[in-house]
Amino acid sequence: MPYDFDLIIDRRQTDSAKWRWYDEDVLPLWVADMDFVSPEPVIRALQERVAHGVFGYGMPPEGLCEVIQERLAQLYGWRVETDEIIFLPGVVTGFNKVCHAIGAPGDEILVETPIYPPMLTAPGNARRVCKTVPMVEGDERYERDLDAFEQAITERTSLLLLCSPHNPLGRVFERDELESMAEICLRHDVVICSDEIHCDLIFQGHAHIPTAALSPEVAAQTITLFAPSKTYNVAGLSCSVAVIQNPELREQFDKAGAGLVSHVNVLGYAAALAAYRDGQEWLDAVLAYMEANRDYLLEYIAAHMPAIKCKKPEGTYLAWLDCREAGIPGNSRGGVGPHGTTPHEFFLEQARVALNDGTRFGKDGEGFVRLNFGCPRATLTEALERMKRALEAL
């Protein structure tokens, strides 16, 4: 089936947070959802479920656990039992629940910055201490400083919130990287909560490796979270998955959300089953389109905005733009001055393009913005041209 990802869809007249958060003249390339129609099998499954007309309390539909099990085994050689799968209304809900489940108030939770902003606030929500360790900027990509990582762990460190693939850096971690990180966590008895929501959005030359699939020992100390939401553009339907193979961790996780975390809604279940069972053709096509978008973005920046730097994303549809040398007033490698302008503010005000403010990803994000290239090429082009003109006017 051919897919027209160049089609411009008017989302401003809907309930879209992405398109209604800012004024109508602003192009939104910020929050992580795509501007593409979801796979036809998902739409058909939702129409059939709505046509049934009864929307009482639901439970996972027959076949959903089996489809997930088959998928994990086929893609990663990772074998998961049915009772090890837990359904949640969201991955953010999941790692907040993990923060409550592991350790005790006052314990430290380690996160690697710059990082997806809810990971910075989740520890405090559970009366834990958020302890950050920065990723290290290399020539081609960001790396983990294992010495700094281990030195950041203390006797009060109970949990690592891992983002793999990494948001916003676009890193797809290799086996040796994950093994070295996991070995340190095992040695210090640190539980790993691995947010793998972007696991299906991997570009050519790279392969996602679930942290828990490294070894039985790592699996016993890991809680894995993923969802069809980013992959198939169904985030608004709120269906996510946790895989917890250690029964003690699973019991802790269950108790932590008792009476607080709601069930998945019936439409979310229907969409998840259809997406995982019948959405691969669409996924292959959208990945090819977004990889071309990524390459176009990098080529455009190099040709027309060379002062902005961006390391090539290996996965996700997010680009981490370094604007510290772009000449934006008050913004430089030294950070933002007391009366300066962040790149986010500059591009919003002067280009009417909405990007994510890098400072929300931790102090290592000063001078950066995150750009979502999961959109039609014409939308991406218009946004880049607006940004170019704003820089030329400085």
Give residue 341's pLDDT band: very low, low, confident or very high (50, 70, 90): confident
Q: How far apart are CA 364 and CA 383, in angstroms?
A: 25
DSSP-based three-state secondary structure for 125: helix
Give residue 329's pLDDT band: very low, low, confident or very high (50, 70, 90): confident
What does pLDDT average to over the chain? Answer: 96
- Over residues 294-305, the pLDDT tens digits come to 999 999 999 999
Give residue 257's pLDDT band: very low, low, confident or very high (50, 70, 90): confident
Q: Do residues 201 and 165 make contact, with C-beta atoms less than 8 angstroms apart?
A: yes
Q: How far apart are CA 356 and CA 168, in angstroms?
A: 10
- Scan for tokens 């099998």, then name that residue: 41
- Scan for tokens 């350790």, then name that residue: 103
CATH architecture of 17-31+281-392: Alpha-Beta Complex (3.90)
Residues 6+ apart with CB under 8 A from 330: 336, 337, 339, 340, 341
**Amino acid letter, 78:** W
DSSP-based three-state secondary structure for 364: helix
- Over residues 159-182, the pLDDT tens digits come to 999 999 999 999 999 999 999 999
- Over residues 203-214, the pLDDT tens digits come to 999 999 999 999
Q: Do residues 280 and 228 make contact, with C-beta atoms less than 8 angstroms apart?
A: no
* Residue 3, token pair as written in the block: 């897919």
Residue % of the chain over a pLDDT of 90: 94
Domain assignments of the chain as residue spans, ordered by start: 17-31+281-392, 44-278
* Residue 7, token pair as written in the block: 């089609």
**Amino acid letter, 13:** Q
Under DSSP, the state recorded for 346 is H
Instruction: Report pLDDT for 333.
Output: 56
Give rounded-to-5 percent helix, strand, coil for the chain.
40, 15, 40
As a CATH number, domain 44-278 is 3.40.640.10
